[in-house]
């Protein structure tokens, strides 16, 4: 199992880039809620221990690392809304959230390491797409942790407004409880109407 390291960043530092941001998104697969992206610039001399792909960490560990990162790194978060997901598509909306997160960083980074195999349209800074980046780069792993914690808490808050769908536990992903609730309770304003399970309920005969 690969553990992310600082090698990609170290190579960029050697080329003269001083502020390298890792960028990742969370929430492509859920049926409800926005997609969230984070951008994180680590301090090369003060990197928290234990950074890893957010999916490989316990919730308790993610929360602890989230706090450490906010204290010791530069962090930015942005979203693309359900309406934007339905208007564009989930990939384009994910990229919109990434561009927004990077734009919030001040001072701006001078190079981006972006999780995935595509660079977002509209990203003006020098960038590299890194496949499985959250398992290779600690900067991208840090961004995945920040984005996931933010989105998970957002879905917990939305679950209080719309009980029964299990968002506090499933974060909007299509678990059996969520799919059953869609059938029994209906579609909320936070559901992605372009996603097939939601679309089918709205337009079933």
| Tens digit of pLDDT at every position of the chain (205 positions) | 579 999 999 999 999 999 999 999 999 999 999 999 999 999 999 999 999 999 999 999 999 999 999 999 999 999 999 999 999 999 999 999 999 999 999 999 999 999 999 999 989 899 999 999 999 999 999 999 999 999 999 999 999 999 999 999 999 999 999 999 999 999 999 999 999 999 998 887 4
For 13, 60, 108, 196, the CA distances from 17, given in Å and listed in that order, are 5, 33, 12, 43
Which two structure tokens, joined as six digits, stand for 21?
A: 């941001």
The pLDDT assigned to 122 comes to 87
Q: Are 155 and 33 contacting, i.e. CB atoms less than 8 angstroms apart?
A: yes
The pLDDT assigned to 192 comes to 98
User: Which residues are within 8 A (CB) of 62 and not within 5 positions of it... i.e. 6 or more apart?
Assistant: 54, 145, 148, 149
Q: Is 25 annotated as a binding residue?
A: yes
Instruction: Give the end-to-end CA distance of the chain in Å, rounded to a whole number.
Output: 47
Q: Is 115 annotated as a binding residue?
A: yes
Interatomic CA distance for residues 7 and 136, integer angstroms: 8
The pLDDT assigned to 203 comes to 84
Picking from 116, 127, 154, the residue whose alpha carbon sits closest to that of residue 24 is 116
The pLDDT assigned to 1 comes to 56
Q: Cα 81 to the chain's mean position, in Å?
A: 13
Which two structure tokens, joined as six digits, stand for 73?
A: 């790194």
Q: Are 177 and 170 contacting, i.e. CB atoms less than 8 angstroms apart?
A: yes
This prediction's pTM: 0.96
Which two structure tokens, joined as six digits, stand for 105?
A: 């960083």
Which two structure tokens, joined as six digits, stand for 35?
A: 């997609």
Q: Is 152 annotated as a binding residue?
A: no
The radius of gyration computed from the CA coordinates of the chain, to the nearest angstrom, equals 17
Looking at domain 7-151, its CATH class is alpha beta
Which two structure tokens, joined as six digits, stand for 48?
A: 């928290």
User: Which residues are within 8 A (CB) of 94 and not within 5 positions of it... i.e. 6 or more apart?
Assistant: 25, 28, 35, 37, 80, 120
Interatomic CA distance for residues 169 and 39, integer angstroms: 25
Picking from 71, 33, 53, 56, the residue whose alpha carbon sits closest to that of residue 152 is 33
* Cis-peptide into 52, omega within 30 deg: no
Give the residue extent of every domain in the chain.
Answer: 7-151
The pLDDT assigned to 205 comes to 45
């Amino acid at each position: 199992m690969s553990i992310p390291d600082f090698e990609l960043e170290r190579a960029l530092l050697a080329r003269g880039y001083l502020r390298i941001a890792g960028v990742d998104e969370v929430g492509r697969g859920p049926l409800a809620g926005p997609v969230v992206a984070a951008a994180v610039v680590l301090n090369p001399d003060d990197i928290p221990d234990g950074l890893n792909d957010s999916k490989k960490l316990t919730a308790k560990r993610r929360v602890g690392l989230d706090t450490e990162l906010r204290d010791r790194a530069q962090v930015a978060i942005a979203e693309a809304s359900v309406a934007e997901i339905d208007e564009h598509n989930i990939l384009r909306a994910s990229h919109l959230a990434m561009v927004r997160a990077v734009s919030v960083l001040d001072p701006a980074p001078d190079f981006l390491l972006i999780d995935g195999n595509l660079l977002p349209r509209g990203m003006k800074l020098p960038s590299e797409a890194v496949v499985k980046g959250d398992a290779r780069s600690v900067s991208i792993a840090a961004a995945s942790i920040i984005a996931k914690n933010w989105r998970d808490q957002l879905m917990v808050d939305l679950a209080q407004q719309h009980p029964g769908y299990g968002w506090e536990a499933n974060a909007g992903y299509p678990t059996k409880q969520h799919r059953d609730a869609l059938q029994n309770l209906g579609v909320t304003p936070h559901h992605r109407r372009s996603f097939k399970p939601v679309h089918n309920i709205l337009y079933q005969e």
